[in-house]
Amino acid sequence: MLPYKSLIQIDRNIPVTIYIQVCNSFISLITNGTLQPSDILPSSRILAELIGINRNTVKLAYEELISQGWAESVERKGVFVLSKLPVISKTKLPETNKNSSKEESFLWTNKFKEARPVRNFQKAGLSIDDGFPDVRLAPVDQLMREYRSLSKKFYGKNFLKYGSSKGSEHLRISISNYLSNTRGLAVSSENILITKGSQMGIYLTAQLLLNPSDVVAVGTSNYSYADDTFKYAGANLVRIPVDANGMDIDYLEEILQKQKIKVVYIIPHHHFPTTVTLSMERRLKLLNLAREFRFAIIEDDYDFDYHYENKPYLPLASIDHNHNVIYIGSISKTFAPALRIGFMTGPSVFIDAVASLRELIDKQGDTLLEDAFSVLFNNGEMERHFRKSLKIYKQRRNLFCDILQSEFRDTIEFEIPEGGLAIWSHFDSKIDLVKMSENALKNGLSIDNGKFYKNESFVTNAMRLGFASLEEKEMVKALGILKKVVQ
């Protein structure tokens, strides 16, 4: 007889009834090959004594096994594993060595071997991020109040049914008005698709635009997840230099004379990671080149709302009269990262196709949440939030820069950014950013190690230092720890 006392373990602290636990244990023994077809099971009396439960409980477990088709009862002989089941080889214990050369159970291609580990900011204490909003400033209570209010109203129940893959109609109308008022971008609600953040917009766009071996022009320094998204779609990247005035469009023109470029990905406001802004002269030339060479422009405008000195330039999409621009924006980056709301717009036929693709991977977004956001746009709460947070973030930027200038004069070089939520900071070449990050964590500060910003042609001892999510006391403490570590 098998050692059932050790094979069948009962946990009285979980909500699963004991007879179901016994039943599931036998199913596991059958499916892993320990019990074979036609094997006899112990009598209810013996098993009850072995594992310390009531005999009637064992009988219930056997009845359940029989009803599910795992066992059969033979009169005056007992309960047996169903004879018709296929013979299963006994499963070997799984390998515990991660470096084992054991073959995979099925064939697949791992395209994410080099994927970067993601920092979990939900578990981090004191942290200098790479430019996130302060979620404590977001009117989340008002948002949740509207969410609950909508769910209670009789018409709110309809939001629990399937809706448009383009997203909430109400939010699309609100975004349409918002884009018109803030960015001079005239676009109908039908030509807007609500996404779960700008990253989804980049992914959907890449999947439709790109075929294997197509060429995408990106900045020498660039948003790494965008690079990875294009590579995943099979595209080849060509790097275009980025200087104080943004992407070098003259250099791009030279490349266009030599090879076909399918897409140009650009972050004209607060370029990631360097925070520079594309000049108006270069914007106009880029649009002219797009019309001449018939390439698409993916304009990633992830934090347009935060500009501190002068009014920001209009987006490329606002002055694009040839419909070359696919415009992607994010509310997550300006409100709260975990509330995944973004948007994209472009040529109407293209947006319709994006909506169809979205249905294949994510039928639709959270309509109730999207409608709640719509209410906040319509009642002016979002505008008040942007206005209030803009004032606070400017004060924090100024304080952060003052501390860097006074306390890190010999170790960090930077330019005060006109907008955005982070400062592109060049560290002294003697400072090992990886070790700095490790030592900072030991001292209670979570900070990046600079690897995220590097690529095959951009290697620099620099990183983004986010200031927006830190209150004054937190900022002083965080930079105090950083100073201690770099010294």
Q: How far apart, in whole angstroms, are the C-alpha atoms of residue 175 and residue 338?
A: 19
Give residue 291's Cα distance to chain centre: 32
User: What's the whole-model pTM score?
Assistant: 0.83
Phi-psi region of 366 (alpha: psi -120 to 50; beta: other; left: phi over 0): beta
Q: What is the pLDDT, as a whole number, of residue 96?
A: 47
Closest CA to 481 of 431, 421, 441: 441
pLDDT band at 155 (very low <50, low <70, confident <90, very high): low
Q: For the residues 26-50, what does the mean pLDDT come to? A: 93
The residue among 309 and 12 whose pLDDT is bigger is 12
pLDDT at 75 over 70: yes
Pairing of strands 462-466, 422-427: antiparallel
Tokens representing 46? 């013996």
Tell me the pLDDT band of 169, cut-offs 50, 70 and 90: very high
Per-residue pLDDT band for 113 (boundaries 50, 70, 90) equals confident
Going by C-alpha positions, the residue among 424, 79, 467 that lies closest to residue 221 is 424
| pLDDT at residue 99 greater than cutoff 60 | no
- Residues above pLDDT 90, as percent of the chain: 75
Query: 367 pLDDT band (50/70/90 cuts)?
Result: confident
Cα distances (Å, whole numbers) of residue 90 to 72, 105, 382: 21, 15, 61
Domains (ranges, CATH) in the chain?
A: 4-81 (1.10.10.10), 126-132+384-486 (3.90.1150.10), 154-380 (3.40.640.10)
Average pLDDT (352-377) is 90
| 164: phi then psi, degrees, rounded to nearest 5 | -75, 140
Give dist(CA 336, CA 389) in Å, integer. 12
The better pLDDT of the pair 116, 370 is held by 370
pLDDT surpassing 80 at residue 158 = no
- The pLDDT of 181-193, averaged and rounded, is 92
Partners of 407 in the β-ladder = none
In tens, the pLDDT along 434-470 reads 999 999 999 999 999 999 999 998 999 999 999 999 9
The pLDDT of residue 302 is: 87
Q: Are strands 296-301 and 263-266 parallel, antiparallel or unpaired?
A: parallel
Top-ranked range on mean pLDDT: pick from 195-199, 324-328, 357-361? 324-328
Question: Tokens for 443?
Answer: 């001292």
pLDDT in tens, 231-260: 999 999 999 999 999 999 999 999 999 999
Q: Which residue in this structure is represented by tokens 């975990």?
A: 338
pLDDT at 165: 87
pLDDT in tens, 116-153: 766 666 666 799 999 999 999 999 899 999 888 888 77
With H, G, I as helix, E, B as strand and everything else as coil, classify residue 481.
Answer: helix
Spatial CB neighbours of 482, under 8 Å, sequence gap ≥ 6: 128, 408, 440, 445, 447
Q: What average pLDDT does the chain have?
A: 90
